[in-house]
Chains A and B, each alone.
Chain A
Amino acid sequence: MRVTADLVAHVAALARLRLGPEEAEAYRRHLEALLEYVRVVETVDVTGVEPSPYPFEIALPLREDVPVPPLPREEILRNAPARTDEFFLVPKVIEGKGS
């Protein structure tokens, strides 16, 4: 599959990455090689094989619905670059969220 410079720019924008021209070209080649590899994998006959989203056949562990103490607020907020006593602070956002 051909990976175009536009596609790289789109994916970078989605991931909030700022790429210089050389970086963009390097990633374009990486992505192309990656998709080429997938194309090879796709030639394997998997008729009758269940898709496996997880590499190991292990059961999903569950936990009981019992509260444990959260982290003290001071600890949660400690690494925040901007904060008040109660909140994280970010530059003003006006739009609704994605979900």
Chain B
Amino acid sequence: MSVLPTIGLEVHVQLATETKLFCGCPTTFAAPPNTAVCPVCAGFPGVLPVLNRRAVELAIRTALGLGCEILPRTKFDRKNYFYPDLPKDYQISQYDLPFSRNGRLEVDIPHGPGGGTKVVRITRAHVEEDAGKSLHDRRPAETCVDLNRCGVPLMEIVSEPDLESPDEAHAYLAELKRLLLALGVSDCTMEEGSLRCDANVSVRPAGTTALGTKVEVKNLNTFKGVKRALEHEIARQSAALARGERIAQETRLWDEGRGVTAPMRSKEEAHDYRYFPEPDLPALEVPRAWVEEARRALPESPRARRGRFVSAHGLPASDAAVLTEEPAVADFFEALAREIGEAKAAANWVMGEMLARAKDAPGGFRALRVTPAAVGDLHRRVRGGAISANQAKEVLAEMAATGRAAAEVIAARGLAQVSDEATLAGAVASVLAENPGSVADYRAGKGAKAIGFLMGRIMKATGGRANPNRAREILEAELRGRAGA
């Protein structure tokens, strides 16, 4: 049976604050267990939450970036459930007056029948606190609880069920991540738990319109995991429909190791969250002035930037896509393009050596210790023939690691390319004198072989510093002269 999937995603993204949502504990990743905890986030009796101003600012920016309407008055609610890493036995979240709603995200769907641009509607984006972490594998008989993440500010972004395949879901997530990075509201590192995803999935037979029964799939912790989990879940539901079975409305957990989803064993009532208004927090009147200020400061969206890199800089779409994955990369490219006046050359510098270095660097692209001006300087040295393109890669690697200038690295490594006519002519003459056999080969018509061999010798004799184009010209002229003699 041919089926059509319908997918909606709930994404939890950590807002990039220094402190938690309702207390001053730091949000440092990977702090030793239970060392970023205070009476507020540990849920001690008698404490009161105080909302983080920065979290509100970041939430406004996120909502505007998603084209959402920001409610003038928003409130917090308690979502009640019992779990050992939720010490208050409730999560402060938002229920009927969320921070924002009715947004949209334009997503470029690369392939397939749905290829093209798709508008994914955003139902709502609200603010809530994270829970702690349970570690089940440390001890045989107990679960270890770490409360460091309790109270870390999250934005939950809920999409309408507008996605129709795992590929579309993946494209949506990737675009959302690029947007959040461009807005500077989150680090979006899935490994550190700052971007997490749950999915609502249903399937219906092709040709029908009524949506099938919705199944919630949780625990999607990597982009690849999201795609695999959705593929698995759609196949599972399709097979059940084909057998004439009914799909149970339930919550299933994705098991990344086994590659399957399995139903959660909780009873139905575990999902009766009994939301009620948080009595410790009055409603938040969102200052209009903040919203207008944030609207003016909104950066260009990654999608618009991608389009501009193609239209204004004349880059291939694939280059534009790579360069706009991360705002730091896109900013660097634009500055370098201005610096050297050649967009494609700037793109090649950034996409080649710099992104390769960024992959290995612990802090990623932003940790590279070079400025656009420094790379521009290096670029001019290559163009001027001072060093070869190959040598420039080495030089750039060292510049990026140490922050030293191109001239300094070139001098220290003795790399400056030899383009001086007399020096090169001398090297050519001595190599020819040492290799009469090759000269004979050249005369016998094996020119390519002879030149290849002799060039190798010349490069060796000059410690790799000979300007290869100039050296080759001199060598060929010399050989022609001798052959003619």
B282 touches A59 (CB 8 A): yes
Chain B residues in 8 Å Cβ range of A60: 51, 281-285
Chain B residues in 8 Å Cβ range of A71: 37-39, 42
- Complex partner residue of B19 from A16, A59, A66, CB under 8 angstroms: A66
A88 touches B84 (CB 8 A): yes
Whether A65 is near chain B, meaning CB under 8 Å from some CB there, is: yes
Whether A43 is near chain B, meaning CB under 8 Å from some CB there, is: no
The complex places the Cα of A62 from the Cα of B51 at a distance, in Å, of 5
- Complex partner residue of B145 from A16, A53, A62, A89, CB under 8 angstroms: A89
Interface mask (B304-347 → A, CB under 8 Å = 1, otherwise 0):
00000000000000000000000000000000000000000000
Residue from B33, B91, B279 with most neighbouring chain A CB atoms (10 Å)? B33
Chain A residues in 8 Å Cβ range of B434: none
A90 touches B142 (CB 8 A): yes
Whether A49 is near chain B, meaning CB under 8 Å from some CB there, is: no
B51 touches A98 (CB 8 A): no
B83 touches A98 (CB 8 A): yes
- Complex partner residue of A93 from B42, B84, B218, B273, CB under 8 angstroms: B84
* A89 CB to nearest B CB, Å: 4
A93 touches B134 (CB 8 A): yes
Residue from B34, B37, B80 with most neighbouring chain A CB atoms (10 Å)? B34
A73 touches B34 (CB 8 A): yes
Interface mask (B68-105 → A, CB under 8 Å = 1, otherwise 0):
00000001000111111110000101000100000000
Interface mask (B194-229 → A, CB under 8 Å = 1, otherwise 0):
000000000000000000000000110000000000
Q: Which residue of A lies closest to B198 (CB)?
A: A99
- Complex partner residue of A54 from B265, B270, B282, CB under 8 angstroms: B282
- Complex partner residue of B37 from A14, A56, A70, CB under 8 angstroms: A70
Chain B residues in 8 Å Cβ range of A62: 50-53, 56
Whether A44 is near chain B, meaning CB under 8 Å from some CB there, is: no
Q: Which residue of B lies closest to A11 (CB)?
A: B274
The complex places the Cα of A94 from the Cα of B135 at a distance, in Å, of 10
Chain A residues in 8 Å Cβ range of B80: 14
Q: Which of A52-99 contact B (CB under 8 A)?
A: 53-54, 56, 58-68, 70-71, 73, 76-77, 82, 84, 86-99
In this complex, how many residues of chain A approach chain B with their Cβ under 8 Å: the count is 39
The complex places the Cα of A90 from the Cα of B146 at a distance, in Å, of 11
The complex places the Cα of A87 from the Cα of B17 at a distance, in Å, of 25
Chain B residues in 8 Å Cβ range of A93: 83-84, 134, 136, 143
B146 touches A87 (CB 8 A): yes
Chain B residues in 8 Å Cβ range of A99: 79, 81, 91, 93, 128, 131
Whether B277 is near chain A, meaning CB under 8 Å from some CB there, is: yes
The complex places the Cα of A9 from the Cα of B190 at a distance, in Å, of 40
The complex places the Cα of A17 from the Cα of B25 at a distance, in Å, of 32
Q: With A66-B19, A96-B218 in contact, is A16–B82 under 8 Å at CB? A: yes
The complex places the Cα of A56 from the Cα of B24 at a distance, in Å, of 26
Whether B245 is near chain A, meaning CB under 8 Å from some CB there, is: no
* B72 CB to nearest A CB, Å: 11
B277 touches A70 (CB 8 A): no
B142 touches A65 (CB 8 A): no
Chain B residues in 8 Å Cβ range of A10: 269
Apart from A59-B285, A71-B37, A71-B42, what 17 extra A-B contacts exist at CB < 8 Å?
Answer: A14-B272, A54-B279, A56-B282, A61-B51, A62-B52, A65-B18, A70-B26, A76-B37, A76-B147, A87-B146, A88-B146, A88-B147, A93-B84, A95-B264, A97-B81, A98-B271, A99-B131
* Chain B contact residues, CB within 8 Å of chain A: 17-19, 23-26, 32-39, 42, 50-56, 75, 79-86, 91, 93, 97, 128, 131, 134-136, 138-139, 141-147, 218-219, 253, 264-266, 269-274, 277, 279, 281-285
